[in-house]
Structure 1
């Protein structure tokens, strides 16, 4: 444990890198790699330190998309070639180059489909969908008109892929308040009238429902259905419906479970809820109030998302800045305006977070983050809970969550040896899937 804590501190230290740490927390929490890995003096470059992109956050995001090759949502050559065209001096270059690659694959898919090759068409469209999502992962202007258009292109490519590929999946619209949440139901092979368990999965700040395909396929291969969805603040919901994050995630999960238990073939007594990245904070919060769940999986376990964000702010700017935000919000906003003007990476991260949380100022963002805490409610969780952690996961509060739980509980620590020690086991989805689904199979 001492080595793990050391690595987390060292990841945010060093020459001029603390601001990158804050940008990591505010605007890139999904890949979440340490900026500098822990190691002895003179230690060699770590396998995940790509150093191919103009800033460390984009290196981390690139690794995430390289890792998607395991679920056939990317190809390594396509990712590296796209990355090689990105101009670090142009903030729109990342988005533009991924769009170029995505549209080339859409054309490829169309040619294959026209030639009577639906599998090839579906595989090309599946990668195209993911590359459109990549184009939006680091878009400099979330309010730009093209954001909605790119979102629709991603969704359309994914839906075409589902039609062509033998995945047994269909788009669904989940009733939620006065609107509907977009999702996909992956049905497990089953006998007529047979009911099967269901895994409900969702991501956090940055990844979309579509990128949970590997979870759905793992569930189906083990005889379970899977429902993946975007909630407020996520994926298509923030970009097309304008709904920001909310801390009371039980009010998101409850209508999803209501919808799920009415799906044909779903066993209402065997439902698992899995949250990834920031979802590792939202899933336990939901499970504290939604008692129809049999299992809950937090990857990684997070007790208070508020404290994750505050820690990165303190590392980057000092505790005095946080105190200023609470004492004098207007003065804090003026200071942050200067910081953001001089540090484009922080400007992007803070802007992206304000948009996803539906606030207009950095001080309002800090105030909103104060609502994202679950320490007072997680002792209400009744279902068996799996808390996942990684030796170098910068966003994990897994031990703190685990100790607060009063329900049946288990803990998985991913290690350097198995190359799964990073946030959400990026680059090691095979190991992540094997260990998490072994647990699900044993307890569902």
Structure 2
């Protein structure tokens, strides 16, 4: 594994750098810039004028990607191209070629190739990063099994995964149904039963005791998987998410949770018409279309009904391991109220630890974008005493 582009976990936080853009566009810009480095913020700021639509951002990121490739900054170019591809419509003919270029570049730069894990007719790509810096015969500190969320590609996380491996931990990262290659190439949509891909990966690699980490929507999926998979000794929701419908409704039609649930229960035609009004905003329309692609549903109403099945309240009590719940104080996707609600339902866990990140720390937003190093250091510090048998649940 080539770790030339591994993320430096100890660098000063990039923080919530101000960009005169809509909240979600600014968040996404910070997400990509943090991987590239502070100079990316300046490159994005130099765009004039800053785009105001998804289509505008696609062109802007492709422009930055071309400039980076011309300067032989292959890593920067790959991230910019992924940023562009993220906002492309599902039927955009540039979508798959841009995806392929991004994946090939990341695999080349990090010298990683996926292992194929069979699961319910799909072939899940899984990357196995060996622990670094160990003495001869020394075992890894732990094994992390990690996956992303709603629309992430696991290759985006190579810089973070390489940094964790450098700290002496084996990292196995995979894409499941509804994610990355499994969705884009194999057309396999998201499944509620996330324990199935997790168990398939654990079986394939012969793992017995792991730190199971789920990012973004993975914060819901990881609790679901751990409820049915006893080999998940340590469970990290990065970030907490106990109810995806709350998150989806917050973006599509920002109404109180109870009203949102009532809306989903209405006849599908009416729901679709109401959401069409909200969908006049390009970001909302894009989100609904993305939701239907990921879940394999045919209408906004069907997507929201699927989203209503992605919750943890019915299974949380079955989790038996040690649990770490991360949250951003100003997460514009996940309401902070989901954190105490998730804690209350983890009644069978060996221990439950929570951590809320603030604006002062530079990472109050979703998944601690702005200070990813602090998030990873927090997980490592929480895990260390558990590995020694002296943690809160031991």
TM-score under structure 2 normalisation?
0.84
Contact kept in structure 2, 1:78 and 1:101, CA below 8 Å: no
Partner Cα separation in structure 2 for residue 413 and residue 89 of structure 1: 31
Distance 2:48 2:146 in 1: 34
Among 357, 377, 383, the residue aligned to 1:434: 377
CA distance in 2 between counterparts of 1:420 and 1:333 reads: 35
Task: Give the C-alpha shift of residue 300 in structure 1.
Answer: 1.7
CA shift, 1:128, in A, is 2.4
SS at match of 2:360: coil
* 2:344 aligned partner: 403
Cα drift, residue 296 of structure 1: 0.7
Out of 311, 336, 345, which is 1:373 matched to? Answer: 311
Of the candidates 317, 328, 346, which is equivalent to residue 284 of structure 2?
A: 346
Deviations along 1:74-122, whole A, 9 cap, x unmatched? 133345424615763664332233223334434544xxxxxxxxxxxxx
Q: Which runs of 5+ in 2 are unaligned?
A: 1-14, 388-394
Q: Which protein has the bigger helix share?
A: 1
Aligned equivalents of 1:345, 1:424: Cα separation in 2 = 20
- Displaced runs of 4 or more, over 6 A: none
**Matched pairs, number:** 365
Report what 1:362 is aligned to: 300
Whether the 8 Å CA contact 1:383–1:407 is kept in 2: the answer is: yes
1:245 is displaced (CA, Å) by 1.4
- Give unmatched runs, 5+ long, in structure 1: 1-46, 69-73, 110-123, 164-168, 262-267
Kept after mapping to 1: 8 A contact 2:16/2:362 = no
Q: Give, in whole Å, the separation in 1 of the partners of 2:37 and 2:356.
A: 29
Mapped contact 2:177–2:190 kept (Cα < 8 A): yes
**Equivalent of residue 324 in structure 2, options 386, 397, 404:** 386
Report the aligned-residue RMSD.
2.5
Counterpart position of 1:308: 247
The DSSP-based 3-state class of the residue aligned with 1:413 is strand
Residue 94 (structure 2) pairs with residue 146 (structure 1) = yes
- Could you tell me how far 1:212 is from its partner in structure 2? 2.0
Q: What's 1:17 paired with?
A: none
TM-score of the superposed pair, with normalisation by structure 1: 0.75
Change over 3 Å in CA distance of 1:96–1:183 after alignment to 2: farther
Distance 2:106 2:49 in 1: 25
